[in-house]
Chains A and B, each alone.
Chain A
Amino acid sequence: MKTISLRVNGVSYSVTVEPRRLLADVLRQDLELSGVHIGCAHGACGCCTVQIDGYPQLSCLTFAVQCNGAEIETVEGIGGHDAGHPLQKAFRTEHALQCGYCTPGFLMALKPFVEQAIERGRIPEADEIRDAMSGNICRCTGYHSIVAAVRRAVHDGIHGDSA
């Protein structure tokens, strides 16, 4: 067992874990952040994506002990109880989710992409958006509406919320 410190969604935790425990399991079970979802546990579907020190990472391919001292953000940290982050709002407006299981992973993978696009002031082309989500699988939507949601979130970020 090893004791590590994590800062998750702005809160500091000290947890004692087996070295083999996945970050996804520690976030889900020890910290009760059940918005982290496990879809394949072999790094292929992107459901478990969280941000570690600002980068989207797969929490199913990461041991918790690798993250000692890291800053982690999960879906619970981005828009609160009412899902108020512009990307979350755009997902709702464009119907970019159905069962919702893959959704937190998409949000955490796409959030930096959207933020960078807003900074650049340019709405990305559809194929750029599709590439940005190529590490995430959605089995419900067919991706069409997720592309639309990303476009809307970037548009609203550049021009102000039109919704």
Chain B
Amino acid sequence: MNTNILLELLENNARLTTQDLADILHEDEALIKSEIQQLEKEKIICGYHTVINYNKALKNEKVMAFIEVDCTPQRHKGYDKTAMKIANYPEIDTMYLLSGDCDFLCLVQGKTMFEVARFVSDKIACVEDVRATKTLFVLKQYKQNGIVMKDEEDVESTRLVVTP
């Protein structure tokens, strides 16, 4: 079985059933089931998410911010130990180690700007070896996971229903 194609299919549409996946990949459904279980066990598949346009939903109840974090790496441990201290906060949605001016880039979600600001100053800035933080609030989201966020509802498709 081509695991990469299986992963790609699920990444694009996690709602495909195991039977759909079996049809697409020309495999036995039972084999697909066991492959997915294995991928979940190995933490290659880490979850199934829905892409939500927060410009439209919960727009008064949710703010997002990118937090740039500078830290001092530790001997033998590098960045990983500090990173885990930060990543374990449930407020942190996504986190990367970067090259360039800052070390970590974290995406944080909160209910209000005040809540996010307090989380950064009270929690992240106080983590051992963190030297500085910079908070960048998201004003509007244009694209997420390859999907362009549209303000207006889908207008009736302009494609003809039947063509030669």
Say if A and B assemble together: no
- Interface positions of A (Cβ within 8 A of B): none
